[in-house]
Chains A and B, each alone.
Chain A
Amino acid sequence: MDRNRPALNLLKGVVLLAPLLFLVVFFFYPLLSIFAVSLAPEGTLDLSGFTRIFTSDYYRRTFWFTFGQALLSTALTIGLAIPGAYVFSRFSFPGKSLLMSLATLPFVLPTVVVAAAFSALIGPRGLLNQTLMSLLGFSAPPIVLERTLTIILIVHVFYNYAVALRIISSFWANQSVRIEEAARVLGAHGWRLWWNVRLPLLRPALLAASILVFIFTFTSFGVVLILGGPRFATIEVEIYRQVTSLFNLQVAAALSLVQIGFMFVLMLVYTRLQRQTTTDLQAAQSVVRQPRTVRERLFVAANVVLIVLLLIAPLAALVLRSFTSQGALTTQFYTLLSSNPRGSVLFTPPLTAVGNSLVFALATTALAVTLGLITAVLLSSRASRLARWLDPIFMLPLAASAVTLGFGYIIALDEPPLNLRSSPVLIPLAHTLVAMPFVVRSVLPSIRGIPPNVRGAARSLGASPWQVWRWIDLPLISRGLIVGATFAFTVSMGEFGASLFIARPDTPTIPIVIFRLLGQPGATNYGQAMAMSTILMAVCAISFVLIERLRTAGVGEF
């Protein structure tokens, strides 16, 4: 309609191109630098990085460990989530929705906080060991889980249980109970009902959930780095070590490349599957009822207890541990946060990190919301054939891990033409890349959800394109926008992998301070780590409540 205003169209084009430009400069360029370093470090083709990682036993073990732990974590998570999902999709019980919300909370919790929480619960200096030692007189911590595969698996289940639970139970709840009833009438019962009817029907959801959990655990970084100790390393952790302790950029780049390739394939499979699960969903009547028999009640109770133990106990332990010192309640760890004692590993009082994180998070939110909104508008315009191409491209930053991103920044953005290495803007830039897909995903459904004729109706009532945007689109997507903004804020507050690479020593973020404090001996450092983690957890929990509120309320209104 604006054929006659070429200047306006030009401006529109420039604005629409901004997210793409951002992606090119701050994602593809660092990524290409990794390619360059791994394939041709001196300008000529040199594959020695690859020969090293593929021939050495050490790296082979790293690959297998990464793959194996991801597989185990996925199997455990899905195995536990299936009964949980059954309970959530078939039975009603008191506190159900609260429990579902609580179970989803870990999704927004930073890895550092989760590592700290598990350390607070079952670590050598944790609540359980301390209690056992003082009650039963052990001289050493009786529960030794730190630096074992077990704790890595437990934490991975903690993280991903809710993801699997949500995917599976929503799929299940949308599936007609009539199918099951038909199978029952035809004579299926007990395990045959599960094996021949329920699980096969669930297959798309199970596959989607498995791949997602696998992706998450395959690229696990903070959990393995903090809780695994030097014995364990995923590819992600290995990249970090190669760069920071061994200065072996070529090997790190080769590892990154292998991981990116693998992730990309998994992402492709996942998006394919996701499209399937969403089209398969039909609004079917589902029957949710109270558990009747003793067996059913026990089944429900067991799952509730599991969720509480697995998900809530560590977080409660974290809070408790941050307020106790040698068995007594104290707030000293919180007050200590504002001081900068001599000999500390930090250059600044821990509390300044809170300020840093807030500034970075606000900058990230502003940038991610602006770029994400433009991207969502671009992707939602069905007219543009470009959209179909661009959609997966904008999701790519999720496929490349945060550590890879941070690594890419170090090798790409520390020399002309873009020398930002000493600039603090690197952090919000990296965070924006990680956060933008969340914004796009939050806004896109509400843009697409605007009934098609509403805009036409507004136009015919005399609204110009700009007025339609102002009075129709914007109010209708405001909820999605707030959800996206909250996501961006939370992601930035908790981001660990990329920040660890690029944060300046004098401007650390909260997760980095926690990581450094956890690595130090001494009850005070440990207590401060707990206190910082509690603060971060509180921030994320508040954001999470906001997200949940707006999201569920949004469903009812549109």
Chain B
Amino acid sequence: MLTISHVTRAFGSLQVLRGVSLTITDGEIVCLLGPSGCGKTTLLRTIAGLETADSGDIQVDRQSIRDVPIHERDFGLMFQDFALFPHMNVAQNILFGLRMRHMPKPQAQQRLHDVLELVGLKGFEQRDVAQLSGGERQRVALARSLAPSPRLLMLDEPLGSLDAALRERLVVELRDIIKRIGLTAIYVTHDQHEAFAIADRIAVMNAGQIEQVEAPPALYRQPKTPFVARFLGFQNIVPVTGRIDGKVQTPLGVFAIRPHPLIPSPPGGERNFSGAKRGEVSLLLHPDGLQLAAAGDGSRITGIVRELVFSGDTYRVEIQHDSGISLSFRVPSREMGEITVGETVYVSVAEDCIVPLVKR
């Protein structure tokens, strides 16, 4: 439905978008995830028409929208601050888009009624927007952008200004509403949990580029770059120093990995992996696959316990290997034995949780 190709944008000398390409299919919710300053909001604003791309193209149904002014793009846009019109009540806010399209009154009233029901705000028509709670404002903003039945809904951190508990509830509701009307949507956030909950696919952005596009479970299991892994909160990243017999060598020992297109087999056995590119490839030891193991058990990592943090259902355990590398993982509280800080422990690594990372 929407095709973004090689879009670039610079503000002065600052390159905010460095050739972004992304395709979104009909009825899909795609999430742009990344830290602040990664260009996700600029990309959204460029799609909306609030910014102009320096180069590249954006197409809707194979029609370029480069020269279509914002108000003729027929997109819905929802802002983090909701941007409700302060001089209008709830009904006037929602009717604004319909008025601009000269929709006949009875039809517009029907639509108003429908969207208010959809977002669960029946009876709020005459309320002053200044008197609404944060959650109610968010719903009014959603209703306002849904009312003109846009081809594409864009949401710029729509839950960013709400508290965590409310956010968790509303994100589910939001996905439910968008899916119910079968809308195509782009959702911008810096919160991975929000992204996991709402998106069909997540595009992780870094420094004006898309690092990886993936469905949420696959993204979580198999991050492809060190940036994505770190952004998702994974810390157990170890450098790859060489390669022996189809296995990779790290300071923690030798690990077997599945064939990876970006890690070519070097010609001729036990040689350094690649002198020039050393550090470019690393391994993520996914914390989900780390477990405390009994002593003397074969291919294990040995380390000294540095930190034990109790957080209810789990403990977070951090161990340090002889090489100085630290690994962190969670252990269910009831499986924790009598471990103390400073003790030497053994950790096993599940084979499918050894994820190769290649720096872009």
Contacts and interface: CB of A to CB of B under 8 A. Distances in A.
A463 B100 contact: yes
A196 interface: no
Given A459-B71, A461-B144, A467-B100, A454 B85 contact: yes
A42 interface: no
Nearest to B45: A456
Interface string B36-69: 0000000001001110000000000000000101
B286 to A, nearest CB: 39
Interface string A428-463: 000000000000000000000001011011111111
A194 interface: no
Contacts of A467: 71, 100
B130 to A, nearest CB: 7
Interface string A107-137: 0000000000000000000000000000000
Given A1-B70, A456-B77, A457-B79, A475 B96 contact: no
A459 B81 contact: no
A462 B79 contact: no
A195 B67 CA distance: 64
A546 B97 CA distance: 34
Contacts of B77: 456-457, 460
B83 A456 contact: yes
Given A461-B100, A467-B100, A453 B83 contact: yes
A519 B101 CA distance: 66
B148 interface: yes
A458 B71 CA distance: 8
A538 B80 CA distance: 48
B83 A1 contact: no
Nearest to B79: A453
A58 interface: no
Interface residues of B, number: 30
B145 interface: yes
A472 B88 CA distance: 10
A541 B96 CA distance: 40
Contact of B100 (A2, A3, A462): A462
A456 B79 contact: yes
A1 B69 contact: yes
Contacts of A335: none
B76 interface: yes
A520 interface: no
B86 interface: yes
B300 interface: no
B81 A464 contact: no
Contacts of A464: 69, 71, 100
B145 A461 contact: yes
A462 B71 contact: yes
Q: Most chain-B Cβ atoms within 10 A of its Cβ — which of A457, A459, A467, A558? A: A457
B145 A451 contact: no
Interface in A1-35: 1-4
B75 interface: yes
Contact of B87 (A2, A462, A475): A475
Nearest to B87: A475
A456 to B, nearest CB: 5
B137 interface: no
B150 to A, nearest CB: 8
B50 A459 contact: yes
A384 to B, nearest CB: 15
A456 B50 contact: yes
B175 interface: no
Nearest to A449: B86
Contacts of A463: 71, 96, 100
Interface in B133-154: 144-145, 148
Given A457-B79, A460-B70, A472 B85 contact: yes
Given A453-B81, A471-B96, A557-B130, A459 B70 contact: yes
Interface in A521-547: none
Contacts of A456: 45, 48, 50, 70, 77, 79, 83
Contacts of A458: 85, 96
A366 interface: no
B73 interface: yes
Q: Most chain-B Cβ atoms within 10 A of its Cβ — which of A453, A462, A558? A: A462
A462 B71 CA distance: 4
Given A1-B70, A476-B86, A461 B81 contact: no
Q: Most chain-A Cβ atoms within 10 A of its Cβ — which of B73, B86, B97, B101? A: B86
Contacts of A476: 86-87
B234 to A, nearest CB: 34
A451 to B, nearest CB: 6
Contact of A462 (B50, B130, B148): B148
A558 B48 CA distance: 26
Contact of B145 (A3, A460, A475): A460
Given A457-B79, A472-B85, A475-B87, A462 B97 contact: yes
A452 to B, nearest CB: 8
Contacts of B45: 456
Contacts of B130: 557
Contacts of B76: 460-461
Interface in A453-492: 453-454, 456-464, 467, 471-472, 475-476
A16 B183 CA distance: 42
Q: Most chain-B Cβ atoms within 10 A of its Cβ — which of A2, A461, A462, A467? A: A461
B255 to A, nearest CB: 49
A212 to B, nearest CB: 32
Interface in B73-123: 73-77, 79-81, 83-87, 96-97, 100-101
The 3 closest A-B pairs by CB, nearest first: A461-B97, A453-B83, A462-B100
13 contacts: A1-B69, A454-B84, A454-B85, A456-B77, A456-B79, A457-B79, A457-B83, A457-B85, A459-B70, A461-B145, A461-B148, A462-B148, A464-B100
Interface of B: 45, 48-50, 67, 69-77, 79-81, 83-87, 96-97, 100-101, 130, 144-145, 148
Given A460-B49, A464-B69, 8 more contacts: A451-B81, A454-B83, A456-B70, A457-B85, A460-B48, A461-B100, A462-B100, A476-B87
